[in-house]
Amino acid sequence: MKEHKPTEPWRREELWRWIHGELSPQRERELRRLAEDDPALEAERQRLERLWSGLELPPPAAVPVGFKGRVLAHWESRHRPQPLPRWVRAAGAAALAGGIFLGVGVGALPEEVAEDSAYVLEADGGLAEDYWQLLAELGEGDRG
């Protein structure tokens, strides 16, 4: 029979890993064989297993008063929106002014352009009717 010293730190650590199921299956089989041959090793394993199964976690600690407010204040201080740089605000203002200028310019189109636009916007068919007619003439489309 081989002599084992189960109190050696490396051996105790290996026993803990065995109890927790962290050993490879091969190493676990080896330790089982060693424990069968050495009653002191088996006694140490059982002692550690009883110790582990007898442990209880402490009750959860209460959240300290004001903790939520401090965390929220810290988060808000890190995620507060920063003002945009001056050049970005200037570019946005220029784009807005340009859009307004173009919108006003479209409203003041010459009459001939406005009349052509009215033809496109007719509700009784207009351009769509002409399209289908052209397709029928070419023999490429069927309205059905």
- Quote the CA–CA distance of 49 and 84 in Å, as a whole number: 62
Neighbours of 132 (CB within 10 A): 14
What is the model's pLDDT at position 34? 86
Give the best-scoring range by mean pLDDT among 23-27, 76-80, 118-122, 124-128: 23-27
Per-residue pLDDT, 135: 77
Closest CA to 41 of 91, 76, 4, 72: 4
Q: 91-111: per-residue pLDDT in tens? A: 999 999 998 888 776 666 556
Q: What percent of the chain has pLDDT over 90?
A: 15
pTM, rounded to two decimals: 0.35
pLDDT tens, position by position, 39-61: 888 888 899 888 888 888 888 88
| HSE, side-chain direction, 13 A CA sphere, residue 6 | 16
